[in-house]
Amino acid sequence: MDNQPKFVDKKLLLGPYLARIMDGERQNWKNLVAQTLDLSIKEKTPGDPVTVIDLAISEDVKKISLENNWHFYSEEEPRDWELPLIIIDPIDGTRELIERRPECAVSIALIKTWDFTSEENEGWLFNPFTSETFTEETNQERVKQDKLLGYVSRSETKHGLFKNLNHPQIEIKDVGSIAYKLGLLASGKIDFVVSLRPKNVWDIAAGTILCEKMGLELYSQGKRITKITHELYRPPLLWCKPEDFALLSKAFEPNGR
C-alpha cells in the first residue's frame, strides 16, 4: 500500500539529494532578487562587488549546511575545506545582477570526494531571473551542428581577448556568468565554454560536476583537470567533449587566436 500523503509529489522523493533540498529555495531567491531595489553594493576588493543578495543567499545555504552536517565554503565566507562540503557562489555574475541582466546563477556543489568526475558529487545551478534550474536531471546531449558553438565571457570579450579568433568551425557568443554558461553547456545548448581568466572553485564547481556527468571535460592550460581544489584554476580554461579538445585547444592558445 502507498503510505505517502496524496499531496506529496513522488518526483520530489527521487533524484539528486542536493536538488531536492535546494529546489525549495528557488521561489524565495527569485523573490529576493525581484524585490530588492537597494542592493547596498560594496567592493570586497577593487572591481569585485558584493550585494546584500549575495550575503543573504550565502547565509541561507550556510544554515542548510549546518542542518545537514555539511562543511561550508562560500565565496563570501571561505571557511571550511573538509568533506562533506558545500561549495557555493551565492550569485555567480554579480555584475549581471547589478545591471539586471538575466545571465547569473546561484551555484552550489555538494562534494563527497575531491574528484569532479565522482558520481557521489552533485551540482545545482539556479538563475533567479529566468527560473532556469540546472541539475543532473536537466542534463542533455548536444545535437551536433555544422560549427562548434561556445559561450565566452562578456568582460573578456570587452577587453579584446577573442578579437583575433577567426575559425571556420568555431562560433562564439558573449554570455554572463561562468556558472550559468556551464549549466547551459551541460543541458546541451552549446558545445563548449572557454575562459581566458583564472577561476575560483566556487565559480566552477557545480557547473563542472554537471558537465562531467555528460562527458564534458575540464582542461586547464591544455591539461585534463579532475581535482577539486581551493587553488586558482589557470587559463586557458576549456570545457568540452574530449573529441573536440584538439581543435578548440589550438584555437584558443595565446598564439592561436
pLDDT tens across 225-243, in order? 999 999 999 999 999 999 9
Is residue 254 scored above 90 in pLDDT?
Answer: no
φ, ψ at 94 (rounded to 5°): -60, -35
Distances (CA, A) of 192 to 76, 155, 182: 28, 18, 8
Amino acid at 156: E
Q: What is the pLDDT of residue 10?
A: 38
Residues paired with 61 in a beta bridge: none
Tell me the mean pLDDT in the region 192-219: 98
Closest CA to 203 of 236, 178, 223, 184: 178
Report pLDDT digits (tens) over 112-138.
999 999 999 999 999 999 999 999 999
Q: What is the pLDDT of residue 15?
A: 52
Report pLDDT digits (tens) over 169-205.
999 999 999 999 999 999 999 999 999 999 999 999 9
Q: What angle do CA 99, 79, 129 make, to 5 degrees?
A: 25
The average confidence (pLDDT) of the chain is 92
Tell me the mean pLDDT in the region 74-84: 95
Is residue 255 scored above 70 in pLDDT?
Answer: no
Q: What is the pLDDT of residue 257?
A: 54
Q: Place 253 in a pLDDT band, splitting at 50, 70 and 90.
A: confident
Is residue 21 scored above 70 in pLDDT?
Answer: yes
**Prediction pTM value:** 0.92
Q: Which domains does the chain have, with CATH numbers?
A: 11-138 (3.30.540.10), 148-251 (3.40.190.80)
Is residue 13 scored above 50 in pLDDT?
Answer: no
Is residue 82 scored above 60 in pLDDT?
Answer: yes
Lowest mean pLDDT among 29-33, 143-147, 240-244: 143-147
Q: Do strands 85-92 and 217-220 pair parallel, antiparallel, or not at all (unpaired)?
A: unpaired
The residue among 173 and 14 whose pLDDT is bigger is: 173
Report pLDDT digits (tens) over 86-100.
999 999 999 999 999
Q: What is the pLDDT of residue 6?
A: 39
Report pLDDT digits (tens) over 45-78.
888 999 999 999 999 999 999 999 999 999 999 9
Q: What is the pLDDT of residue 16?
A: 75
Is residue 5 scored above 70 in pLDDT?
Answer: no
N-terminal to C-terminal alpha carbon distance within the chain: 63
In our burial notation (b when 16+ CB lie closer than 10 A, e otherwise), range 204-217 reads bbbbbbbbbbbebb
